[in-house]
Structure 1
């Protein structure tokens, strides 16, 4: 059976063990090697399954610690709030690796599709959809359904939470030339089949985004401080006594 199908079977088996109490909330899953032996599959298949479980919010991966079962996977989406900063950081981590993976498996046909989205962005022709399609093409080119699922989920958050929509709109509206150049650099790295360069180019793209988000946030905070200061000054001003 193809690994792209196999890892979903492993997801189902691990979820069954979680639901049965074999892996209770808060517990740490066995190491990757033991899970591979338990289910008689390769370690890459286990990694794909863990990514899918993390996207489903059944587990949390803690660096240098392990994979932990979450307490309540049935939280309503309306109870979850993700900031633009959190989303951008997560996208950088996942999509940086997606670009590295795609560099070794992307086809000429997919590269042509990427180039078409670049042209659209550079000409300002439905640039938002072109941007979205660019990232989807790369995630599909990884040949990893868990990565594709994660990227699709990121875009759902980007397009559904008002705070994130406004934050990204302010960043993208004022930096179309930067965005086009960054996407072209990613494309060029992919066309050279250079994983390290593709990862670095994707990271640079998101680094610029998150820095712009900080600048906009700081500007808004300063404006709010000025507004409150002016209100206080008006309240306690003695100008009417000394004029």
Structure 2
């Protein structure tokens, strides 16, 4: 246990759970014991791992699970924050697709979002293969693995959130601040566009297969292949949404 930590934690050793479930319980207890309210930024993954005596991959997977449950929000480039509550810095829910489309002037032009994604995301995937740290690649791999488990549990709400988390991590892992700043205003609309093709179960397995291929290319540091894999994914997402991309 790291005695120099600036927060309190009392380990609960009762029961028999997986290491990930134990980490979820430990982090949840830490939040409650310290009285951290909505909007509070959690300590870094390294700090959590050292203090709670878990490996960093286990902590990463626990945080992804907690985001799926709605207890924390992972914000690329900023950190992990406690959800809800009455903090002065509450987490803002993405606006609805209809409202975003109306506000952005895209009403009647639904295919434009997918055209935008096709133009931008393959370039991001290519940069991720070149620039991502090993820790960032590990984070994205954990999310894809969690997506597979969400399908097995038929937890499609959790699946949607994980899908959005993956693409948010991709933006961050490009390690190019211009992409991060350029994409920030569109994340709400992007979140909704991720959900549209998944209203039918048939598209979920295809989506996971595409994510796994993207991660394979990134892990092997193959930027050209990562770009092509992302192009295939965006085309698939558009097709499952009933949108024909003219590319």
Q: What is the TM-score of this pair, normalised by structure 1?
A: 0.50
Residues 150 and 190 of structure 1, relative CA distance in 2, 3 Å threshold: same
Q: Which residue does 2:60 correspond to in 1?
A: none
Deviation above 4 Å: which 4+ runs of structure 1? Answer: none
Higher helix proportion: 1
Does structure 1 residue 117 correspond to structure 2 residue 143? yes
Q: Which residue does 1:154 correspond to in 2?
A: 186
Residues 166 and 122 of structure 1, relative CA distance in 2, 3 Å threshold: closer
Computed over aligned residues only, the root mean square deviation of the Cα atoms, in angstroms, reads: 2.6
Post-superposition offset of 1:77: 6.8
Structure with greater Cα Rg: 1
Post-superposition offset of 1:79: 5.8
Paired residue secondary structure (1:193):
coil
Q: Which residue does 1:208 correspond to in 2?
A: 236
Post-superposition offset of 1:214: 2.6
In the alignment of these two chains, the number of paired residues is 137
Post-superposition offset of 1:174: 3.0
Paired residue secondary structure (1:214):
coil
The correspondence for 2:199, drawn from 156, 170, 194, is 170
Moved more, 197-206 or 130-139: 130-139
Once residues 120 and 219 of structure 2 are traced to their aligned partners in structure 1, the CA distance between those partners, rounded to angstroms, is: 20
Contact conserved, 1:84 with 1:167, CA < 8 A, in 2?
A: no
Residues 94 and 111 of structure 1, relative CA distance in 2, 3 Å threshold: same
Once residues 143 and 230 of structure 2 are traced to their aligned partners in structure 1, the CA distance between those partners, rounded to angstroms, is: 16
Post-superposition offset of 1:179: 0.5
Contact conserved, 1:104 with 1:193, CA < 8 A, in 2?
A: yes
Q: For structure 2, which runs of at least 5 residues remain unmatched after alignment?
A: 1-100
Once residues 201 and 159 of structure 1 are traced to their aligned partners in structure 2, the CA distance between those partners, rounded to angstroms, is: 20
Q: What is the TM-score of this pair, normalised by structure 2?
A: 0.50
